[in-house]
Amino acid sequence: MARKRGIELEQVVRTASALADAEGLEAVTLARVASQLDVRSPSLYSHVDGLGGLRRALALDAARRLGTDMAAAAAGREGVDALRAIASAYRSFATTHPGAYSTILTTPAEDDDAEVYAVFAAQLPPIVAALEGLGVDPSEAIDVIRAFRSALHGFVSLEASGGFGLPGDLDRSYELMVDLLVDGTLARVQPLP
Amino acid sequence: MARKRGIELEQVVRTASALADAEGLEAVTLARVASQLDVRSPSLYSHVDGLGGLRRALALDAARRLGTDMAAAAAGREGVDALRAIASAYRSFATTHPGAYSTILTTPAEDDDAEVYAVFAAQLPPIVAALEGLGVDPSEAIDVIRAFRSALHGFVSLEASGGFGLPGDLDRSYELMVDLLVDGTLARVQPLP
DNA sequence: TTGACTTGTCTAACGTTCTTAGGCACACTG
DNA sequence: CAGTGTGCCTAAGAACGTTAGACAAGTCAA
């Protein structure tokens, strides 16, 4: 029973994250995480503020990872290309890490939680840049971002919860959705070319 | 303590639904629902198959109500008008009944649950009709429906969980999103008018 | 009317979860 | 080598879901 000094916080999040991906968010319980780490549940309180704190830590971790994935996808691209790459990275993350992704949403902003706010806001720059490249009016940028974010999130979240009854080709549906939004945006930017 | 004969099933769902709307889905527990009905929790098992069954019943109820709302909104309208009306009804339902709405998603389809499947599928006809009115190619209808549904759901779900950091005018954002999708769809349908 | 049956509630009990309180041992620091 | 703090532990309590079995009230048939 060797003593591990200061090696845990990261382990806790990683373990919980993996558990969420493998068995769903409901399976992430302090008891199970503790058990996987060969530890009693109360011990987790030294690293995390209860179940709520663990969920928050999971959400922050997931948001950061999603953010880096999107930024990496957009790197070296511009405009529509960048947008498509971001959309693709977004869905990839959600499908490969369904548990981690879902923590992002089930953790509502606690009004004054500056850290959560900051991490979430950090995801925006690459998207903003891509939209600017399309020539979107700055006064409408926020709305367009929301539209994209809503669509991406809605799709992957419906996909994750099996909300799409008909099987069909989800890849094609996703691409078409992005096309729809891109075309709609372009149509708005350049009324008559 | 008068005996009520066969008056409960509906009451259980109504009570739970109201509780979900008022305090969030997490507050919907057998204990609390039972307490509000002046009954012990085991008694609920006569009407509902445990907590899972209650959640399922809630989801079915919410899906039905959302479906009727959308159908009512689309009645007497066509094409773009119908689409906008449906979108508006969708968001209205989600914001006035946040708890009920969220049950629709947190209840994943159990593979072979025919009733859930049927109720969810029943929501589609008005949307399909509206899209047909726009001249969408039948081979792409499914994809376009998914795009709309994803965007609508994504938006209201982000709105509900406070996912939109910046305040801004959400009404305007929502309208613009619908416009984007409609324009994108029209652009796809009529490449060059 | 009266007996049997069904239906729906109850109490009792168990297992699981989160959480708090307080004790104890190891590892680092001066 | 003593002192300090970190991080784990056990113990315990509250809340929840769930099952089992008893009991009463309403219903129906003879």
DSSP B74-142: HTT--HHHHHHHHHHHHHHHHHHSHHHHHHHHHS---SS-HHHHHHHHTTHHHHHHHHHHHT--HHHHH
Q: What is the rounded distance in angstroms from the CA atom of residue A154 to the CA atom of residue A28?
A: 23
B151/A150 Cβ within 8 A: yes
Across the range A160-180, mean pLDDT stands at 85
Among the listed residues A143, A150, A145, A152, the one whose alpha carbon sits nearest the alpha carbon of residue A178: A152
**Residue among B146, B172, B187 whose CB faces A143 most closely:** B172
Interface mutation vs chain B, best among A145, A149, A180, most B CBs within 10 Å: A180
Is pLDDT above 70 for A48? Answer: yes
Is pLDDT above 70 for A6? Answer: no
**Residue among A151, A176, A179 whose CB faces B151 most closely:** A151
A-B contacts (CB, under 8 Å): 145
Assess contact for B99 and B154: CB atoms under 8 A. Answer: no
Q: Which residues of A touch B (CB under 8 A)?
A: 105-106, 108-109, 117, 120-121, 140, 142-144, 146-147, 149-155, 157-158, 161-166, 168, 172-173, 176-177, 179-185, 187-188
CB B148: neighbour CB atoms within 10 A? 26
Among the listed residues A33, A100, A20, A36, the one whose alpha carbon sits nearest the alpha carbon of residue A66: A100
Per-residue pLDDT of chain B (193 residues; tens, 9 = 90+): 334 455 688 999 999 999 999 999 999 999 999 999 999 999 999 999 999 999 999 999 999 999 999 999 999 999 999 999 999 999 999 999 999 999 988 876 666 678 887 888 888 889 888 998 898 988 888 899 999 999 999 999 888 877 676 667 999 999 999 999 999 999 888 654 4
| pLDDT tens digits along B115-164 | 887 888 888 889 888 998 898 988 888 899 999 999 999 999 888 877 67
Q: Which residues of A91-111 are buried (b: 16+ CB within 10 A; e: fewer)?
A: bebbeebbbbbbbbbebeeee
A187/B183 Cβ within 8 A: yes
Residue A112 confidence class, pLDDT cut points 50, 70, 90: low
Question: pTM of this prediction?
Answer: 0.91
Better-scored residue on pLDDT, B1 or A134: A134
Task: State the amino acid at position B134 in one-letter form.
Answer: L
pLDDT value for B118: 84
pLDDT value for A124: 84
Assess contact for A50 and A20: CB atoms under 8 A. Answer: no
Q: Which residues of A touch B140 (CB under 8 A)?
A: 176
Residue A120 confidence class, pLDDT cut points 50, 70, 90: confident
**Dihedral through CA B169, CA B174, CA B175, CA B176, nearest 10?**
90
B146/A105 Cβ within 8 A: no
Interface mutation vs chain A, best among B176, B182, B190, B192, most A CBs within 10 Å: B176
Joined tokens for residue B27 = 């507050």
Q: Which residues of B touch A173 (CB under 8 A)?
A: 142-143, 146-147
Better-scored residue on pLDDT, B123 or A152: A152
Which residue in A has a C-alpha nearest to residue B116's C-alpha? A165
Cα of A158 to nearest chain B Cα, Å: 7
pLDDT value for B2: 35
pLDDT value for A2: 37
Is pLDDT above 90 for A96? Answer: yes
Classify residue B41 by its DSSP letter: G
Question: Which residues in chain B, range 10-69, keep a C-beta under 7 Å from any nucleic strand D atom?
Answer: 29-32, 41-42, 45, 50-52
pLDDT value for B111: 62
Q: What is the rounded distance in angstroms from the CA atom of residue A89 to the CA atom of residue A67?
A: 10
**Residue among A108, A155, A188 whose CB faces B161 most closely:** A108
Q: Which nucleotide has the least CA–C1' distance to A43?
A: D8
Across the range A140-163, mean pLDDT stands at 89
| pLDDT tens digits along A51-93 | 999 999 999 999 999 999 999 999 999 999 999 999 999 999 9
Chain centre to alpha carbon of residue B61 = 9
What mean pLDDT, rounded, does chain A reach? 88
pLDDT value for A122: 86
Is pLDDT above 80 for A3? Answer: no
Protein footprint on strand D: which nucleotides are under 7 Å from a CB? Answer: 6-12, 15-21, 25-27
pLDDT value for B183: 92
Assess contact for B86 and B127: CB atoms under 8 A. Answer: yes
